[in-house]
Amino acid sequence: MSKPAILIYDLGGCEGCPLSIMRVYPQLINIANVYTKCLGKVDLDREYDYAVVTGPICINSPEHVEELKKIRKNSRVLIAYGSCASVGGIILYARGGQEPRPEHRVYAPISRVVRVDYAIPGCPPAPQMLISLLNCIRRGKGYFLDLFRAVALNPKLSGFDLMDEVVLNGLCVGCGACVLSCPTNALQMIDNRPDLIPEKCIRCGTCTVRCPRFSQILIQRSRLLQKASSLSRISGV
């Protein structure tokens, strides 16, 4: 069996995500042919089995938007990798106005611009993540795969959403998964419930997909969304 071709491409993130991928490069080359700017030229006009896009999309940069669309068109599976690409992450706070390009105002998860197959939060995800994910995609099913697909459809995920949707909504069971999933320690257990320290949250989204309640809600919602969109297609709405 020939190895799949995998493109790793950064759209203007901090480079932390592609570098975390570089760290498993010695393993990755055993399961895929890797194309990345870290090692040489990449060609966006050819086709790839997987495209792993890191970094957020700047809605005000037509060049980047075009690049992203091209990548979508030329790849079989598109993976939004890391918090910036999948849920927006720290860069959601951007407000533009900075020289020399004050017009770069709005940043978004890439699923705002193109259809994304799987979205993986993490700032940055641990290197092993990509290997596991590729293995899992090959097998084609399972709860976590559903979850990462759901993140692509509902990218509004942060510690604030965890509070709103789960904790303040009375659905939290106090398992502590979220507390152990925050890279900045923005969550702490108070009386068996997590509480958010707002100034520490960088909106990486990790806590939300680690929460058993939130992940379940996400998967269910994405099913409804998909159903609704296929219905509207049938009825021509």
Partner 1 sequence: MAYQPVVIDPENPLGYYTGIYLAQTADERVKRKLGPDYKGGGAVTSILLYLVEHGVVDAVVVARRKKGLYGETIIAKTPEEILEATGPKWSIVPYTLGLREKLTSMDVGRVAFVGLPCQAQFLRQVKMFPLMESDFSKKIYLIISLFCMGTFAVESFLNYIKKSYHVSPDEIENISINGDELVVKHVRGEIRIPIRDALFHLQHGCLTCPDYTGLFADLSAGKALKPGFTLLITRTKLADKIVREASNTGYLKLSEPDEESLRIVIEKAREKIMRSYKYLSTVL
Partner 2 sequence: MVDNALTTMQRQVLDRIGGEAVFIVFASNGAASDAYFVSKAPVRGFEKLVRGKNPVFVVNAVMRICGICHAAHGIASTEAFEDAMGVSPPRNGRLLREAIGLINRIQSHLLHLTLLLPDIYPRDELLGFTVKTIKLYNKATELLGILGGAPTHPPYLVIGGVAKTPSDKVIVKIMDELEKFNEEFVALREDVERKALESPRIKPLLEKEYYPEMLATHLFYGDRFNINPSKIRVVRYEEYRGGNVPKEAEENTSMIALYEDRIVEVGPRARLSIYKGFDGKTLWDLQLARFMEVEIDVLQINRLLERIDPHDESSTKLLTYRPGKGLGVYEAPRGVLIHRVELDDNGRVSDYKIIVPTMFNIPHMEIGVKGLPSSIADLVPRIYDPCIPCATHVVEVDRNE
* Alpha-carbon Rg for the chain in angstroms: 18
**Which residue lies nearer to ligand SF4 by CB, 124 or 155?**
124
Which helix (H) or strand (E) segment holds residue 71: the answer is helix 62-74
Site string for ligand SF4, 101-140 (x = CB under 6 A): ----------------------xx----------------
> How far is 42 from 224, CA to CA, in rounded Å?
38
Residue 98 contact among ligand SF4, partner 2, partner 1, none, beta carbon within 5 to 8 Å by kind: partner 2
> How far is 59 from 65, CA to CA, in rounded Å?
7
Beta strands in the chain (DSSP E): 5-10, 33-36, 48-54, 57-58, 75-81, 107-108, 118-120, 187-190, 193-196
Restricted to residues 8-67, the positions that interact with partner 1 (CB under 8 A) are 20
Half-sphere exposure of 178 (CA within 13 A, CB side): 35
According to DSSP, the residues that pair with 81 across neighbouring strands are 54, 120
Look up residue 69 and give its two tokens: 């669309």
Interface segment toward ligand SF4; rule CB under 6 A; list 126-134, 141-149, 164-172, 223-231: 164-172
**Which residue lies nearer to partner 1 by CB, 56 or 58?**
56
Which residue in 211, 217, 218, 219 binds ligand SF4 (CB under 6 A)? 211
CB of 112 to partner 1, least distance (A): 21
- 195 interacts with partner 2 by CB under 8 A: no
- 182 interacts with ligand SF4 by CB under 6 A: yes
CB of 146 to partner 1, least distance (A): 9
Contact 178, 160 (CB under 8 A): no
Q: Whose structure tokens read 């297609």?
A: 233
Restricted to residues 138-177, the positions that interact with partner 2 (CB under 8 A) are none
The single-letter code of the amino acid at 135 is N
Residue 220, phi then psi, degrees to nearest 5: -65, -45
**Contact positions toward ligand SF4, by CB under 6 A?**
13-14, 16-17, 54-55, 82-84, 89-90, 123-124, 158-159, 162, 166-167, 172-178, 181-182, 184, 186-187, 194, 196, 201-207, 211-213
Name the residues that contact partner 1, by CB under 8 A. Answer: 20, 120-122, 124-129, 132-133, 135-136, 139, 141-145, 166, 169-177, 179-181, 183, 185, 188-189, 192, 206, 209-210, 212-213, 215-217, 220-221, 224
